[in-house]
Amino acid sequence: MKQIHFLTFILLFSTVTAPLYAQEDQFIKDYLERLENSRKYLILVAETMPEEKYNFSASPESLTFAENLLHIGYAIDWHSQSLLGGRESRDWKTDTIFKTANKTKEEMIATINKTFDEAIKLITQFDTKQFNDELDYFGLQRTKRQIFLLLADHITHHRGQMLVYLRLNGLVPPRYVLFQ
């Protein structure tokens, strides 16, 4: 009888504490630090560009500064909420949250901050037993662990374009934030 009570206790304890394991996982801990630093740097970059230059692009076929910023937000949302979290993907054609139309600089920065908050919340609760789960990523099979890495690369890629836009407008980019 004691064994049944003990096993029941272990089972209940493990179901309550399982969501906490993501916080204790070293990869998740390191990733969250990197994501927070990435947010800080992206916000500094976004704040450095004057609002009247948010529609600047290096060429007609390039995204504008504002479009790069909100594209990062869309990608954070898609990678975290949809690919890692399983929520239905937003439809890029009909979504208005990550479109620049009629948004001020402050509204765009607030959107990015909120998106980072939501991603961090999801990642904090991520079940690390899913790291090796595979899913389709543009026709390639990728693990959820790889999705974490792809998201970080994507943020860096588009933020890099934004840094060039600052330079093309005679502005000095903010000092790089380490560990991202």
Residue appearing with tokens 């630093």: 37
> Which pLDDT value is given to residue 177?
84
> What residue ranges define each of the domains in the chain, with the CATH number in brackets?
20-168 (1.20.120.450)
For tokens 């479009």, the residue is 67
Residue located via tokens 């995204």: 63
What pLDDT shows up at residue 21?
Answer: 46
What's the rounded Cα separation, in Å, for the pair 149 and 2?
Answer: 46
The pTM for the full model equals 0.85
Q: What is the pLDDT of residue 179?
A: 74
The single-letter DSSP state of residue 95 is -
DSSP states of 23-38: HH-HHHHHHHHHHHHH
What burial letters (b/e) apply to 123-156, b meaning 16+ CB within 10 Å? beebebeebeeeeeeeeeebebbbbbebbbebbe
Q: What is the pLDDT of residue 28?
A: 97
Residue entry with tokens 């948010």: 54
Residues in CB range of 141: below 8 A, 6 or more apart: 134, 135
Question: What confidence tens digit (pLDDT) does each residue in 108-152 have?
Answer: 999 999 999 999 999 999 999 999 999 999 999 999 999 999 999
Task: Kindly give the parts of the chain with pLDDT less than 50.
Answer: 7, 18, 20-23
